[in-house]
């Protein structure tokens, strides 16, 4: 007779397929920070049915579940994740376009990269996603945290989302029901999983859209430490301040613990200079928070999500 763990693995593989279930999978292979210990189970279904079944099986087996996209904005502890990581990414990244004279709508599966959607929109002469061209996250994560840059945010283009709640129910929520704010939304607060996002874009000039996207790409390249693995901006923007300037003014540019370092190009980023560990990252983060508070009385809050065992 199979034990509970063996039966759980058997049911996962029977539902999702052998290739979609990995055991003791290093999370450093699945985060943009390139940091993180092993997940007990790593699941990568290629359909909505597979996602729903994976969630159901984990719930029935009482296995903790973490849903991720491409692993941006995420720091996984060196001890890994005790439970199942469900990745909604390249296996679930389709886009369906509907266009008219004024613009177009796209129904985007949650695993599609935001930058890829922006580039496809540009090729169709659809404007509104130029700000997103260099954002590394998936559309699901972008909707959940209301991702934005250079004056644009997801709430500007989002029409609705199809989400999965903790009880396994699928519902559709309009953008007005999501209470989207700075790097936050109802999706994030209630622990909902985005399955699909619907966006609306306006008709525009292809050359002008392409020019704006190149301009923003150049700005990112000149200001952000894209040459190193990171999880994006490490800290939220404190009201009335810029986190990067506070850190720079505190004399912490280049501050380092092991291979984790405050970027010398943009102090708002903690980067992985080689083989950084999560403990080293948190060592940098803790020192930065202490020094900024000591010198300026401002408490910096992490924007990067921490999961797993530290």
Q: 87 pLDDT exceeds 60?
A: yes
CATH code of the domain containing 77: 3.30.43.10
Considering the domain architecture, whether residues 111 and 144 belong to the same structural domain is answered as yes
Considering the domain architecture, whether residues 84 and 100 belong to the same structural domain is answered as no
- Annotated active-site residue 233? The verdict is yes
DSSP character for 135?
Answer: -
Alpha helix positions (H), the chain:
4-16, 48-60, 114-123, 139-145, 186-189, 206-223, 243-249, 278-296
- Annotated active-site residue 303? The verdict is yes
Q: 282 pLDDT exceeds 70?
A: yes
Considering the domain architecture, whether residues 13 and 80 belong to the same structural domain is answered as yes
Confidence label for 138 from pLDDT (cuts 50, 70 and 90): very high
Decide: 275 and 257 in contact? Cβ < 8 Å: no
156 Cβ neighbours under 8 A, 6+ residues apart: 128
Give the H or E element holding residue 30: none
Confidence label for 192 from pLDDT (cuts 50, 70 and 90): very high
In a domain, 205, yes or no: yes
Considering the domain architecture, whether residues 117 and 216 belong to the same structural domain is answered as yes
Q: 44 pLDDT exceeds 60?
A: yes
Q: Which of these is catalytic: 22, 183, 237, 253?
A: 183
Q: 173 pLDDT exceeds 60?
A: yes
One DSSP character per residue, 205-257 reads -HHHHHHHHHHHHHHHHHHS-TTS-B-S--BPPPTTS-HHHHHHHTT-TT-EE
Distance CA 112, CA 118 (A): 10
Considering the domain architecture, whether residues 79 and 170 belong to the same structural domain is answered as no
- Annotated active-site residue 211? The verdict is no
Q: 117 pLDDT exceeds 60?
A: yes
Tokens of 29: 């292979």
In a domain, 232, yes or no: no
Domain that holds residue 293: 243-307
In a domain, 189, yes or no: yes
Considering the domain architecture, whether residues 54 and 132 belong to the same structural domain is answered as no
Distance CA 75, CA 272 (A): 11
In a domain, 146, yes or no: yes
Considering the domain architecture, whether residues 210 and 267 belong to the same structural domain is answered as no
* Predicted pLDDT of residue 2: 59
In a domain, 228, yes or no: no
Distance CA 12, CA 27 (A): 19
Domain boundary residue among 91, 106, 129?
A: 91
In a domain, 187, yes or no: yes
Q: Which of these is catalytic: 48, 120, 291, 303?
A: 303
Q: Which of these is catalytic: 72, 185, 233, 263?
A: 233
Domain boundary residue among 58, 76, 91?
A: 91
Q: Considering its fold, how many domains does the chain have in total?
A: 3
Distance CA 53, CA 64 (A): 15
Confidence label for 135 from pLDDT (cuts 50, 70 and 90): confident
Percent of the chain residues topping a pLDDT of 70: 99
Q: Which residue bears the tokens 């009201």?
A: 239
Decide: 86 and 52 in contact? Cβ < 8 Å: no
For the stretch 57-80, pLDDT in tens is 999 999 999 999 999 999 999 999
CATH code of the domain containing 117: 3.30.465.10
Confidence label for 168 from pLDDT (cuts 50, 70 and 90): confident
Q: Which residue bears the tokens 């999965």?
A: 164
Q: 1 pLDDT exceeds 60?
A: no
């Amino acid at each position: 007779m199979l034990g509970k763990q063996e039966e759980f693995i058997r049911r996962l593989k029977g539902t999702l397929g052998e290739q979609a279930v990995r055991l003791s999978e290093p999370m450093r292979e699945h985060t943009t920070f390139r940091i993180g210990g092993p997940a007990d189970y790593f699941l990568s279904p290629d359909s909505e049915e597979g996602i729903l079944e994976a969630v159901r099986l984990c719930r029935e087996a009482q296995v903790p579940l973490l849903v991720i996209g491409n692993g941006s904005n995420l720091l996984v502890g060196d001890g890994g994740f005790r439970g199942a990581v469900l990745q909604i990414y390249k296996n679930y990244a389709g886009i369906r376009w509907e266009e008219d004279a004024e613009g177009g709508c796209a129904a985007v599966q949650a695993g599609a990269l935001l930058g890829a959607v922006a580039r496809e929109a540009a090729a169709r002469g659809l404007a509104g996603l130029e700000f997103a061209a260099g954002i590394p996250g998936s559309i699901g994560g972008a909707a959940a945290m209301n991702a934005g840059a250079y004056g644009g945010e997801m709430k500007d283009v989002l029409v609705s989302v199809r989400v999965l709640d903790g009880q396994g129910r699928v519902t559709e929520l309009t953008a007005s029901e999501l209470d989207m704010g700075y790097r936050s939304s109802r999706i994030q607060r209630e622990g909902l999983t985005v399955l699909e996002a619907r966006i609306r874009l306006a008709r525009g000039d292809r050359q002008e859209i392409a020019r704006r996207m190149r301009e923003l790409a150049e700005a990112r390249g000149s200001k952000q430490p894209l040459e190193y693995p990171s999880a994006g901006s490490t800290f939220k923007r404190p009201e009335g301040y810029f986190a990067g300037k506070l850190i720079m003014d505190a004399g912490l540019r280049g501050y380092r613990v092991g291979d984790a370092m405050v970027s010398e190009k943009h102090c708002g980023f903690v980067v992985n200079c080689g083989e950084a560990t999560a403990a080293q990252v948190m060592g940098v983060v803790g020192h930065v928070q202490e020094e900024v508070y000591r010198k300026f009385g401002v408490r910096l809050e992490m924007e990067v999500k921490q999961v797993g065992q530290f």
